[in-house]
Structure 1
Amino acid sequence: MSKNITVCFSASGVTKRAAQLIADTLNTELIEITPKTAYTKEDLNWRDKNSRSTLEMSDKSSRPEITNEKVDLSGVDTVFLGFPVWWYIAPTIVNTFLEANDLSGKRIVLFATSGGSDFGKTVQFLKNSVASDTVISEGRVFSGRFEDNDVVEFARQYI
C-alpha cells in the first residue's frame, strides 16, 4: 500500500482549508509550508508593484525562507501539493520547499486555489526544483469559494 502526504502553502487560509479536506479524505498527514515571515494583507496586494508577493513573483529565482525546510518524506510515494495560483504559477515559496526536500522517484499531484486562473506554467516551473524522476501532474484548481464536496470528490479519485 502506498503512503501519501498532503503539503500546502496557504497565505490566507483558503488553500489550507482545501488541503485539510484532502488530508482528511485520504487519511494523510498535513504539512503546511510556513514562511519564516508571515505574509500580511499588504504583502499579498498583487496590484501593488512593490508588494512582497509581486516582487517575489517578478524574480523567478526568489526563494522565500520557510520555517519547516526539511520534512521526512521517506516511505512517501505521493505528495498532494497545494497552493494559491499567483501569476499563473505556484508561489516561489513552494520551490523553496521542493528544493529543500528529496522528492526523487515520487509523484506530486497538484491542487490549487485561484480567483480565476488555471495552472498556467506551474508544472514547467516546478519541474526545475525537483529531481528528473519526480512526476508532477496537474490535479485540480478550485475557486476561492469552492464547495467542500468538490474537494472531497477530487481526493476520492486517489483512494
Structure 2
Amino acid sequence: MRKLLLVCLGVLMILGLVGCGAEEGKTAEKTAPAQTAENAQTETKAPAAKGKILVAYFSATGNTRTLAENTAKALNADLYEIRPEVPYSKEDLNYNDESTRATVEQKNDSARPKMADRNAPVADYDTIVLAYPIWWGQAPRIMDTFVESYDFTGKKMTAVCTSGGSDIGTSADYLQKIAKGKAEWKQGKLFSPQAKPAEIKSWFDGLGL
C-alpha cells in the first residue's frame, strides 16, 4: 500500500513538471509573434532620408564652388555639380574678346551648352538651390540647359550667385521663366564666395522655404 502511494505521488510530480513545461511553451508561443513582428518592423523600416535640399551648382573658376559648399554646409544640404561636356578654359572666359566661347554663348539666348551628364537627383528633393556665377548680367547658358532638362514641378527653388561686380539682377527670374515644370521660386541673392554659413542660413531662413 505504501509503495502504491509512493508510485502515485511520483506520477503526480512528473505530470506537474510536464504541465509547467507545457505552460512555459505556451507563454513562449504567445510572446514569440510579438517579438517577431517588432523585429520585422525594424528590418523593413525605411532608411533615413538622404536630405531634402539639393544645391546644384556650376563653377568655372572655383569661386561658385566655394559658395555652393558653404551653402550646403549652412543648410545641411547635398551637392550636385553641373559639369559642361566640354570644360571652360581660361581663354573661353576672356570677357574682352568678342569671339570667345562664353561671350558668344551669353549673347545667344538659344545657346544650350551640353552637360557632361543628366544624373542630377532632382526628384529626390523638395528644395533646389541653384548656384552659379554671373556672366554678362545673366546666369551662364549651361544653367539654362540644366533647368530645361528636369521637371521641377512642386519643387521650391531659389538661387545664390557670385560675381565680379554685378548683382543677381534678373538672372534667377529668367531661369524661372524657362524652367521645366511649375515650381515655387523665392528671391535669390548674390554672395561673396567666402560668405559664412551663418550668413547664408540667415538669408535662407528668411525665405520661408
TM-score normalised according to structure 1 size? 0.88
Partner of 2:116: 67
Partner of 1:90: 139
Aligned to 2:178, the other structure's residue is in SS state: coil
Unaligned runs of at least 5 residues, structure 1: none
Deviation for aligned residue 1:154: 1.3
Q: Count how many residue pairs are aligned between Structure 1 and Structure 2.
A: 156
Unaligned runs of at least 5 residues, structure 2: 1-48
Higher helix share: 2
Deviation for aligned residue 1:131: 3.7
Q: Deviations over 1:124-159 (max 9, x none)?
A: 32123224521233322124xx4342x541134446
Q: Deviations over 1:62-91 (max 9, x none)?
A: 000011223222231111110000111111
Deviation for aligned residue 1:29: 1.3
Structure showing greater radius of gyration is: 2
Aligned partners of 2:198 and 2:102: how far apart in 1?
A: 29
Aligned partners of 1:120 and 1:140: how far apart in 2?
A: 9
Aligned partners of 1:15 and 1:91: how far apart in 2?
A: 12
TM-score normalised according to structure 2 size? 0.69
Give % identity: 35
Query: Structure 1: which amino acid aligns with 2:61?
Result: S
Q: Deviations over 1:15-54 (max 9, x none)?
A: 0001011112222110010000010000001111000000
Q: 1:3 aligns with which of 52, 67, 72?
A: 52
Runs of 4+ in structure 1 over 4 Å off: none
Query: Structure 2: which amino acid aligns with 1:16?
Result: R
Contact kept? 2:161, 2:189, Cα under 8 Å = yes
Deviation for aligned residue 1:123: 2.7
